[in-house]
């Protein structure tokens, strides 16, 4: 079910003196954040007969320039859930290669078409459609509840253990009591902040401007990167539109914006001349989204009663578009590890530690790969007038498939365990 205002009044003796609490609900697991990690975890737990509440701060799932890539490893997870065929009935495009074009020629950065997987491509599907699909599937289970417009503000703590959250929405303050609270609320995680988690941060040398331009029927399909001295542009096929990522050096955004929108258009045309006839559709800075690229991970993903997953635990650079992939894999591992303890109503700190233990190494490896690409590929192009040269390892036959495998499948395979009540 989807609620905008739960309706279980609490006794006066339970009211927090700092707030007028309009209701109290209890659940086995309260998940904060209705992105891919939170939605998938909620579905997997509900399938196991575990009571779960998913809290999403917004009124809907529709936000511009969220990641729209579903990688082969995620499609395999969807297949294990029996959902892949129906998911692929939604309008989507397929990216079978990532190609890069430079003034000196073109080369293939990653070719997914010959990977040993039933889904040898990246599925380009609007995230809003993916989240609606997953939460609609979860609503088939009586143990699932979705609350939209739930702005979580506080943790409920007793003797050092997190016992749930308080959120604002539906005309007042609400309280959710839970055996486990999961922070899946993204790169700007409120739960990471109020939970006092310490992060290890890196400093990527770039930021990104996102915008959309019309795509013509005769245009190529899939994705393409364009590299020119001082400029990088990525183009992602979204059917009748191109989603454009214009990569700029860190800290350059305010200077570019002060120069005006025409300066941005001129810079893009220098790299991709064939877009010159459609840049007229870009008329205002409100059509341009600025992404400050970050990369970090928390040292410890959990406290007693509280676990972080996805971007809340590890903020990914957009390099390779793997953020959704790793967030969903976090969710699958969390459901596999925590399903039985939650079902038995007995959750220990070591159960939460096990989730981090299984997911931390893959996270470190992919973040190290992203850092390598940012420093060795992006930074030299953005900071000099040199023509981009493909990394030497791409010319070695036994390493040529490495980027495709790492981007598409991740470091270690993750599979859904059988549900208790499935």
Instruction: Quote the pLDDT of residue 65.
Output: 57
With the C-alpha atoms ordered 31, 33, 36, 39, is the resulting torsion angle positive or negative?
positive
Is the confidence at residue 2, as pLDDT, over 70? no
347 closest CA partner among 299, 288, 389, 307: 307
Q: Where are the beta strands (DSSP E) in 196-240?
A: 199-202, 206-214, 223-228, 231-237
| pLDDT tens string 165-206 | 999 998 899 999 999 999 999 999 999 999 999 999 887 888
Beta bridge partners of residue 55, listed in sequence order: 32, 147
Give the whole-angstrom CA distance, residue 40 versus residue 326. 12
Give the whole-angstrom CA distance, residue 405 versus residue 73. 10
Q: List the end-to-end C-alpha distance of the chain, in Å, as a whole number.
A: 19
Give the whole-angstrom CA distance, residue 18 versus residue 330. 35
pLDDT band at 9 (very low <50, low <70, confident <90, very high): very low
Residue 325: both structure tokens together: 């992939």
3-state secondary structure 101-112: EECCEEEEEEEC
Contact yes or no for 250/287 (Cβ under 8 A): no
Query: Do strands 172-183 and 231-237 pair parallel, antiparallel, or not at all (unpaired)?
Result: unpaired
Coil/strand/helix, residue 200: strand
244 closest CA partner among 217, 277, 279: 279
Sheet with 295-298, side-by-side order of all strands: 199-202, 295-298, 314-315
Between 387 and 206, where is the model more confident?
A: 206
| pLDDT tens string 350-364 | 999 999 999 999 999
Highest-scoring range by mean pLDDT, 248-252, 264-268, 305-309: 305-309
Separation in Å, CA 313 to CA 37, 40, 58, 159, 305:
11, 16, 21, 24, 15
Tell me how crowded residue 405 is: count the other CB atoms within 10 A of its CB: 16
Beta bridge partners of residue 26, listed in sequence order: 177
As a 3-state breakdown, the chain gives helix, strand, coil percent values, each rounded to 5, of: 35, 30, 35
Q: Considering only 167-176, 228-237, 412-421, which range has the smallest mean pLDDT?
A: 412-421
Instruction: Quote the pLDDT of residue 251.
Output: 86
Tell me how crowded residue 284 is: count the other CB atoms within 10 A of its CB: 7
Is the confidence at residue 64, as pLDDT, over 80? no
| CATH, domain 2-64+126-202+296-386, list 2.60.40.10, 3.30.1360.40, 3.50.50.60, 3.40.50.2300 | 3.50.50.60
pLDDT band at 386 (very low <50, low <70, confident <90, very high): low
Residue identified by tokens 């957009």 is 318
Give the whole-angstrom CA distance, residue 236 versus residue 242. 6
């Amino acid at each position: 079910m989807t609620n905008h205002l739960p309706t279980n009044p609490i006794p006066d003796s339970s009211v927090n003196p700092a707030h007028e609490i309009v209701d109290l609900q209890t659940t086995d697991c309260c998940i904060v954040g209705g992105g891919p990690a939170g939605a998938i975890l909620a579905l997997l737990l509900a399938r196991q007969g575990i009571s779960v509440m998913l809290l999403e701060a917004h009124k809907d799932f529709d936000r511009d320039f969220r990641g729209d890539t579903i990688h082969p490893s995620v499609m395999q997870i969807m297949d294990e859930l029996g959902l892949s065929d129906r998911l692929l009935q939604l309008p989507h495009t397929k990216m079978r290669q990532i190609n890069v074009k430079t003034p000196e020629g073109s080369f293939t950065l990653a070719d997914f078409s010959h990977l040993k997987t039933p889904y040898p491509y990246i599925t380009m599907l609007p995230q809003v459609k993916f989240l609606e699909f997953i939460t609609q599937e979860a609503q088939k289970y009586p143990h699932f509840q979705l609350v939209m417009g739930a702005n979580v503000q506080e943790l409920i703590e007793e003797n050092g253990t997190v016992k749930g959250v308080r959120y604002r929405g539906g005309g007042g303050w609400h309280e959710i009591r839970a055996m486990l609270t999961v922070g899946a609320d993204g790169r700007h995680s409120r739960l990471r902040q109020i939970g006092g988690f310490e992060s290890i941060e890196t400093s990527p040398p770039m930021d990104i401007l996102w915008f959309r331009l019309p795509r013509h029927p005769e245009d190529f399909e899939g994705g393409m990167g364009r590299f020119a001295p001082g400029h990088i542009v990525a183009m992602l096929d979204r059917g009748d539109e191109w989603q454009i990522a214009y990569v700029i050096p860190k800290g350059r955004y305010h200077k570019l914006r002060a120069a005006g929108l025409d300066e941005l258009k001129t810079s893009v045309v220098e790299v991709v001349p064939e877009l010159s006839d459609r840049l007229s559709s870009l008329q205002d800075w409100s059509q341009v989204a600025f992404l400050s690229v970050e990369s970090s991970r928390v040292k410890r993903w959990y406290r007693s009663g509280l676990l972080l997953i996805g971007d809340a635990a590890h903020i990914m650079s957009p390099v390779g578009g793997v953020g959704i992939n790793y967030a969903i894999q976090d969710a699958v591992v969390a459901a596999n590890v925590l399903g039985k303890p939650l079902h038995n109503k007995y959750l220990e700190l070591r159960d939460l530690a096990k989730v981090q233990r299984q997911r931390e190494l893959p996270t470190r490896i992919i973040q190290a790969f992203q850092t390598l690409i940012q420093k060795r590929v992006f930074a030299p192009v953005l900071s000099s007038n040199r023509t981009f040269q493909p990394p030497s390892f791409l010319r070695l036959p036994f390493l040529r498939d490495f980027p495709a495998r790492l981007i598409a499948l991740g470091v270690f395979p993750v599979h859904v365990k059988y549900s208790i009540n499935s």
